[in-house]
């Protein structure tokens, strides 16, 4: 088994020690149901032809059609996509969504492509996987370096191939193409609900809580701003090029506006169109992870905290907004240090939850207001947060293991309903 997927499976093995499920279910969850690798030829703007590698993996669809994002990144591999699809399987079960787990990706640096090349690549990807996806089969969504515009191109290409108007085939689309209000901020909003619900149980109030956020993309920048507006002291943020730190706190809306205009991070305070540089320290991504803060939020890529840097982590709480940012070996070290980790399959589940709501709205042809969407998201994610808290209180296990136990029980129910070894032996 590949390294990243093997690491993901270690979390499953830990949960299996505390829950009794069918041997059939365990066997089925060892392997992805189907993995697709495709070549995507793209005519570049200079007339040359370049072929990109693409992937789509449906890990399990026992509970419903596959659901999972598509990422564009130079480090995308089949191993990574399979691991992400594995996590999606448990995430959807944990949130009690009628979906299985899936994921997709293309090995590409999108920053090196023009908008026209990016569109041709996006449409070419759908050309290659059109038979593999569908509203009742597998429903993609945005992920790292993909957005609503790319999702719109992909849905339009699928519609052209199928000669239909099928908005439910892809979520995270523009509103004008059947997207849902609140989908663009859903991952961060879900994380915010979890964080603001959990921290008071540990006696932490916003003014006395310092936060560092690694990753300043869609989810990272949004969660930083939400926490700042709620009174938390966000003292550090970073993107792929590095980060900034100020013990006095950062003005996140101003930093977001500066980055939008200049594509870089600086400690600034903006008033209308004028931005002034304020006192701050330039730090690396690695240094951000070891800052002495109350809350650390990894919101970039997987495998950011490993056995090498976990001993230097000083945060008391970690909320995983990224997928798989902590390795299994690092988990063990952090637990021994007393660091409380809240897992990705809960914390970043707001995105897939509102994707589900978008899919429902597409099929109904009836669309909800932003307040309705956020209310439904909050109700569902806090219901599962409370259940995981309850399991933690009962068993005294890590929150990650409790989340997997909860998800496993739902997956087991769905698999057992189809008949297992235990059923047939009993006959």
pLDDT of residue 261: 79
pLDDT tens for each residue of 82-96: 999 999 999 999 999
What's the alpha-carbon Rg for the chain, to the nearest Å? 21
CATH no. for 34-169: 3.40.50.10860
pLDDT of residue 268: 75
pLDDT at 240: 83
Q: Which of 3-7, 153-157, 288-292 has the lowest mean pLDDT?
A: 3-7
Q: Which tokens belong to 16?
A: 């299996």
If you average pLDDT over every residue of the chain, what do you get?
A: 92
pTM for the model stands at 0.91
Q: What is the pLDDT of residue 273?
A: 62
Q: What number does CATH give the domain 188-347?
A: 3.40.50.720
Q: Where are the domains of the chain?
A: 34-169, 188-347
Condensed to tens digits (0 to 9), the pLDDT of residues 241-296 reads 888 999 989 989 988 888 887 777 777 777 766 667 777 888 898 999 999 999 99
What is the pLDDT at residue 43? 97
* Residue count (the chain): 427
Per-residue pLDDT at 36 exceeds 50: yes
Tokens of 212: 């560092």
Please write the tens of the pLDDT for every residue from 345-369.
999 999 999 999 999 999 999 999 9
Residue-wise pLDDT tens digits, 185-195: 999 999 999 99
Copy the structure tokens of residue 363.
Answer: 């099929």
Catalytic residues: 103
Rounded Cα gap, residues 252 and 299, in angstroms: 15
pLDDT for 275 equals: 66
Lowest model confidence (mean pLDDT) among 1-5, 111-115, 311-315:
1-5
Q: What values do phi and psi take at 401, rounded to 5? A: -65, -40
The string of DSSP codes covering 326-359 is: B-HHHHHHHHHHT-EEE-HHHHTTHHHHHHHHHH
406 pLDDT more than 90: yes
Element (DSSP H or E) covering residue 51: strand 49-60
The model's confidence at residue 1, banded by pLDDT at 50, 70 and 90, is very low
């Amino acid at each position: 088994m590949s390294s990243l997927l093997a690491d993901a499976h270690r979390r499953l093995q830990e949960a299996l020690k505390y829950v009794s499920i069918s041997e059939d279910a365990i066997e089925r969850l060892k392997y992805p149901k189907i993995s697709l690798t495709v070549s995507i030829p793209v005519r570049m703007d200079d007339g040359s032809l370049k072929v990109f590698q693409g992937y789509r993996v449906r890990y399990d669809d026992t509970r419903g059609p596959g659901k999972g994002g598509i990422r564009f990144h130079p480090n995308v591999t089949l191993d990574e996509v399979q691991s992400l699809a594995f996590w999606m399987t448990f995430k959807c079960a944990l949130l009690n969504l009628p979906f299985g787990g899936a994921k997709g990706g293309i090995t590409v640096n999108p920053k090196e492509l023009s908008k026209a090349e990016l569109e041709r690549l996006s449409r070419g990807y759908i050309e290659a996987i059109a038979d593999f996806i569908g509203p009742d089969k597998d429903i993609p969504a945005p992920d790292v370096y993909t957005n609503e515009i790319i999702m719109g191109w992909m849905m339009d290409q699928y519609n052209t191939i199928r000669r239909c108007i099928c908005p439910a085939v892809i979520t995270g689309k523009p509103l004008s193409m059947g997207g849902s209000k609140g989908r663009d901020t859903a991952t961060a909003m879900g994380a915010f609900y979890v964080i603001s619900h959990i921290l008071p149980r540990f006696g932490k109030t916003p003014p006395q809580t310092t936060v560092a956020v690694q990753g300043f993309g869609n989810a990272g920048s949004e969660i930083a701003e939400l926490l700042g507006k709620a009174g938390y002291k966000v003292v550090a943020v970073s993107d792929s090029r590095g980060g900034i730190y100020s013990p006095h706190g950062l003005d996140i809306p101003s930093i977001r506006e500066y980055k939008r205009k200049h594509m870089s991070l600086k400690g600034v305070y903006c008033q209308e169109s004028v931005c002034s540089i304020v006192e701050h320290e330039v730090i690396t991504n690695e240094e951000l992870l070891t800052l002495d803060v109350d809350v650390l939020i990894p919101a970039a890529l997987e495998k950011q905290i490993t056995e090498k840097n976990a001993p230097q982590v000083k945060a008391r709480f970690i909320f995983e907004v990224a997928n798989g940012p902590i390795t299994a070996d690092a988990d063990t070290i952090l637990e021994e240090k007393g660091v409380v980790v809240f897992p990705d399959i809960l914390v970043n589940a707001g995105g897939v939850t509102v994707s589900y709501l978008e899919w429902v709205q597409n099929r109904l042809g009836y669309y909800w207001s932003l307040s309705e969407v956020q209310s439904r998201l909050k109700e569902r994610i806090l219901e599962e947060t409370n259940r995981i808290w309850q399991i933690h209180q009962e068993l005294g296990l890590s929150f990650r293991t409790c989340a997997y136990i909860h998800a496993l029980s739902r997956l087991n129910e769905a698999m057992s309903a189809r008949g297992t070894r235990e059923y047939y032996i009993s006959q």
